[in-house]
Amino acid sequence: MPEQFLHGVEVVEIDNGPRPIRTVKSSIIGVVGTAPEADAAAFPLDTPVLVAGSRQEAAKLDTTGDGKGTLPAALEGIFDQIGAMVVVVRVAEGSDADETMANLLGGVNGTTGAYEGVHALLSARTALGVVPRILCAPGFTHQRTTGGVTGVAVGAGGSGYAATGTTVTITGDGVGAEAKAVITAGAVTGVTVTKPGFGYTSATVTISGSGTGATATASLGTVANPVVAELLGIAERTRAVIIADGPNATDAAAIAYRGDWGSPRVFVVDPWAKVVRGGAVVDEPLSARVAGLIAKMDNDRGFWWSPSNQVINGIVGTVRAVDFTLGDANCRANYLNEREVATVIREDGFRLWGNRTCAADPKWAFLSVRRTADLINDSLQRAHLWAVDRNITGTYLQDVTEGVNAYLRSLKAQGAILGGRCWPDPDLNSPANITQGKVFFNFDFTPPYPAEHITFRSQLVNDYIAEIL
């Protein structure tokens, strides 16, 4: 330091200045499913395992070659598109469909605290150093589940219940239903279903806590797919998108399925594909292949590109015929796309056709726009660990701002955004906030949008007759 005595020369390293920002990896796929013939040492249950684009590693999911379970076919579908990095979570196959579905839903082990089922994807960053951005569970996301708890009606409100400590328990022959009580002046005035569960033919509601006398009854019906519902919370935490298979039945069924969701993180594709497997043509969900196609687009063109109008490799047809004529607003493909269901058309190969997510907000209608915002937001967040706990000075504000603006300029040069800028917020960066260690930066950007609707305006004129005279 200059204020201490030194007879000689010293070097003081100044650690100021903007930092380069690198975009986080966008094309890592997370897939959850079953593989009863897997090598248990290579793919332990409820554990994220990274398969780095190798069919040899994926072959350990099917040691007998019987093709049992959903994971062997899913990995093959992904690798038909690109040798992507895939985080695989294998769950146990139950004695029946309901038990297998319960294993998929998983949760947190009460004894070990380990994540199970789809929740094991949350362990990928700690265990493997990667975060899956494209999630799917082929074979388990297409069902609109019957026997779910659609509502709970309060019969008697009772008295003496506290807002905390009052629990609602739903029991019966189904799985996974959860609810919470609404308390007003010590009485239970309502019950909100937080998870509808599935497989119930009858359900009993029990309200327990500090009060007495409250009763309620459950209503059962058809509910949204529980695996997609569970994945949605994971996708929101990790800034991922979910490729969900449609019901593979009718157009009306696909549209009803889409109506269960209002999130820009859910991308529905219907119908399933026909694939040659073991010399025979079989039906397979499309979600794994679409996930692989998105990873391929990320690798070849960038995360800001739409996967629509790209050829899907490895399929020989669709289970349900999807008619398509370019420019025909009444064809089946356009009918599905208009209602936010992506599909497959046959036009110089079998192509994914559809850009739109299940977003309730039209601002996030396009899948590519949602993913572009996710990758920019996450890249900026992760790149600024260096900025945490540093002194808030004018130089500090300038360094952070310049680093972000340099990154946005780089994205613009690549075509990932049309433009963007960053600046310190003059109103929020008040003395009161700064003395609490809080500092605020704003940034904006405009993503490119896919050319979904192209119009050529045709006019018949006689102006050019003069050229032949």
pLDDT of residue 12: 72
pLDDT of residue 57: 92
The tens digit of pLDDT for each residue in 209-245 reads 999 999 999 999 989 999 999 999 999 999 999 999 9
Residue 386: inside a domain, yes or no?
no
Are 155 and 51 members of one domain?
no
Is 85 within 8 Å of 50 (Cβ atoms)? Answer: yes
Residue 12: inside a domain, yes or no?
no
CATH assignment of the domain containing 326: 3.40.50.11780
Give backbone dihedrals phi and psi of 221, rounded to 5 degrees, phi first.
180, -170
Residue 451: inside a domain, yes or no?
yes
Task: Give, to the nearest 10 degrees, the angle between helix 226-238 and helix 97-105.
Answer: 10
Cα separations (Å) of 18 from 247, 296, 383, 428? Answer: 50, 32, 11, 22
Total tally of structural domains belonging to the chain: 3
The tens digit of pLDDT for each residue in 157-193 reads 999 999 889 999 999 988 889 999 999 999 999 999 9
Distance CA 36, CA 40 (A): 9
Residue 149: inside a domain, yes or no?
yes
Cα separations (Å) of 325 from 21, 328, 458? Answer: 44, 5, 19
Are 360 and 242 members of one domain?
yes
Residue 13 has pLDDT above 60, yes or no: yes
Residue 52: inside a domain, yes or no?
yes
- Mean pLDDT across the chain: 93
Residue 1 has pLDDT above 60, yes or no: no
pLDDT of residue 402: 94
Are 279 and 242 members of one domain?
yes
Predicted confidence band at 17 (pLDDT cuts at 50, 70, 90)? confident
Q: Cβ atoms within 10 A of the Cβ of 312, count?
A: 22
Distance CA 107, CA 76 (A): 27
Distance CA 65, CA 141 (A): 25
Is 333 within 8 Å of 343 (Cβ atoms)? Answer: yes
**Average pLDDT of span 258-284:** 95
- Domain-terminating residue out of 198, 223, 248: 223
pLDDT of residue 8: 67
Considering only CA atoms, which of 167, 220, 231 is closest in space to residue 198? 220
36 lies in which domain range? 29-142+226-364
Residue 372: inside a domain, yes or no?
no
Residue 217: inside a domain, yes or no?
yes
pLDDT of residue 174: 87
Residue 195: inside a domain, yes or no?
yes
pLDDT of residue 124: 95
Tokens of 41: 């040492």
How long, in residues, is the chain?
469
